Amino acid sequence: MRLLHTSDWHLGQKFIGQSRDAEHERALDWLLQTIEQEQIDALLVAGDVFDVHNPPVSAEALYYRFLARLMQTSCRHIVIIGGNHDSPSKLEAPKKLLHALGIHVVGAVTEEPADEIILLKNAAGEPEIIVAAVPFLRDKDFKISIAGESTEARINRIKEGIYEHYRAIAHLSADIAQTRLGRLPVISTGHLYAKGASASDEQNNIYIGNLENIAAEQFPELFDYVALGHIHRPQKVGKKNHIRYCGSLIPLSFSEIADKKIVLICDFDTGKGLSNIREIAVPVFRRLCSLRGSLSEVEEKLQKVHDPAAPLPAWVEIVVEGDPGVAGLVRHLRDFAKDMNLEILKIRTERNVTALDETVESIPLESLTPQAVFLKRCESQGLDAEETERMLNAFKELQEWMITEEEL
C-alpha cells in the first residue's frame, strides 16, 4: 500500500483579514494531481482540516469538493482525524455518509478506544493495513480536573494520559495485526506537540504547562509509522525516521516563509512494514515576503518581489527601520507599489528611542503573542524565574479554560 500523509490545511484561514481560498484551492488541486501521479492508495490527514470551529461556507465547499473529486482517483481509503482547530461535531456530522464512500473520520475520542482502530482492506476484501486514528486528545478526554490539583500534577496527568491512550490503542491493534499472510503494517496518527519538535514560530502548546507532551520513544514499537500533525514545519521526531510531522500544506504565517512545504509518501508491505518514505515538495502558490530595512532598502526589495508572471500577487509585510523621514509612510509605500503584482498587508516602523542614558527598542503590541505580553508584565513586576513560571502556567490554564468554554 502507498499512503500520502498531509496535515494542517487550516481551510478558511483569514490572513491579516485576507481569505486564503485561492491558495487552498490550488493546493488541493495539486494534491489531487499528486495522488493520481503517485498512484496513492490511502490518504491520511493528521488534523486541523479547518482553521476555526465554525469555518466559512467557502472553506467547507473546498473540503467537500476535494473529497468528491478524490473518489475519481486511485485513492481507495481516506482517514481524517480532528485537530485542536477542528470542531469534532462539525467534522463528524456526515461521518456515516462519508464512511459509505470509504472516508473514515475520527473527530474526537469516544469511550471505546477500539472506535479509533480502522482496518483497511484491499480490492479483494483482505486486510492490508491498520490505522490507529488517534485525534487531538483534549484534557477532558483523560479525566475531569481534580479539586486542589496543582498545575504540575495536572501536567503530569495529561502527559500520562496521552501515553496510556497510545499504549491502549497499540494493545488493541496488536490483537488484529497478525494474519495468515503475515503481520499487517500498523500506522498511528496524532495531533500534538512531541518532544524535540521544532516549530516555525511560537505555536502555543495545545496542552498546558509544557511544550513536550510525549517523547518519540513513548510511541509503542508496534507502530510502523506515526503520522503527526500540529507542528507546521516538516521534521522527524527524536531522530526516528518513522515518526514524522509533514507540516502544513501552505505557509500559514510570515514566520513560515523559509519552511519547505511537503507531503510524505510512505510505502508499506504486509509482513515487512514500512519500506520507504519520500518527500514531495508542495509548490508555492503565493509568495509571503517579510521585508526589513531603511525606506530606500525596502523600496528596492519591493521591486525584486514584483513578479508580473506570478498567478497570485505576493503578500508582503514591511518593517521600516529608523526614522523614514516621510509623512504618510503607509500611503507613500502603497503608492510606490500600486502597479506591482503584490499586496502590502502590514507596515510598521521600528526605531530606537533614547531615554536618559539607555537605548530602548520600541516593540509594537501587535507583534507580541498574549503569552509574550504576560511575560513582559511579570518581568515589569520583578518576579523571579520560579514565580514567573508559576504565573505563566496559571495564565495558560485560563487560556485553555476559555478555549474549552468556546467549544462547549
Residues 77 and 131 in one domain: yes
Residue 128: strand, helix, or coil: strand
**Rounded average pLDDT over 224-233:** 96
C-alpha cell at 209: 504547562
The pLDDT value recorded for residue 297 is 96
Whether the pLDDT of residue 358 is over 90: the answer is: no
Q: Final residue of a domain: which of 237, 252, 281?
A: 281
Residues 101, 242 within the same domain: yes
Q: Which of 229, 257, 281 is the last residue of a domain?
A: 281
Q: Cβ contacts of residue 41 below 8 Å, gap of 6+?
A: 1, 2, 3, 74, 75, 76, 77
**Pick from 265, 281, 297: which residue ends a domain?**
281
Distance separating alpha carbons of residues 209 and 175, to the nearest angstrom = 35
Q: Which residue has the higher pLDDT, 142 or 169?
A: 169
**pLDDT tens track for 240-278:** 999 999 999 999 999 999 899 999 999 998 778 899 999
Q: What is the CATH number of the domain that holds 399?
A: 3.30.160.720
Q: How many domains does the chain have?
A: 2
Q: Are residues 295 and 373 in the same domain?
A: yes
In this prediction, residues 190-206 reach a mean pLDDT of: 75
Q: Is residue 261 within 8 Å of 213, Cβ to Cβ?
A: no
Q: Which residue has the higher pLDDT, 359 or 279?
A: 279
Could you tell me which of 349, 341, 296 has the C-alpha nearest to residue 318?
A: 349
Among the listed residues 4, 40, 47, 1, the one whose alpha carbon sits nearest the alpha carbon of residue 228 = 47
One domain for residues 182 and 270: yes
Same domain for 161 and 296: no
388 vs 349, higher pLDDT: 349
Q: Identify whether residues 199 and 275 lie together within a single domain.
A: yes
Same domain, 273 and 310: no
Tell me how far apart the alpha carbons of residues 351 and 320 are, in angstroms, rounded to a whole number: 8
Q: What is the mean pLDDT of residues 273-291?
A: 95
More confident: 368 or 23: 23
In angstroms, the CA 234 to CA 165 distance is 24
What's the predicted TM-score (pTM) here?
Answer: 0.85
Give the residue from 228, 166, 224, 220 showing the smallest Cα distance to 193: 228
Both 135 and 178 in a single domain? Answer: yes
Question: Residue 86 has what DSSP assignment?
Answer: S
**Shared domain check, 294 and 276:** no
Q: What is the CATH number of the domain that holds 77?
A: 3.60.21.10
Q: Is the domain of 131 the same as that of 91?
A: yes
* Domain region containing 25: 2-281
The three three-digit cell numbers of residue 278, written as one number: 519520500
Q: What whole-number percentage of the chain has pLDDT above 70?
A: 84
Tens of pLDDT, residues 88-140: 999 999 999 999 999 999 999 988 889 999 999 988 888 999 999 999 998 77
53 and 89, same domain (yes or no): yes
% of the chain at pLDDT higher than 90 = 66
My answer on whether 263 and 216 are in the same domain is: yes
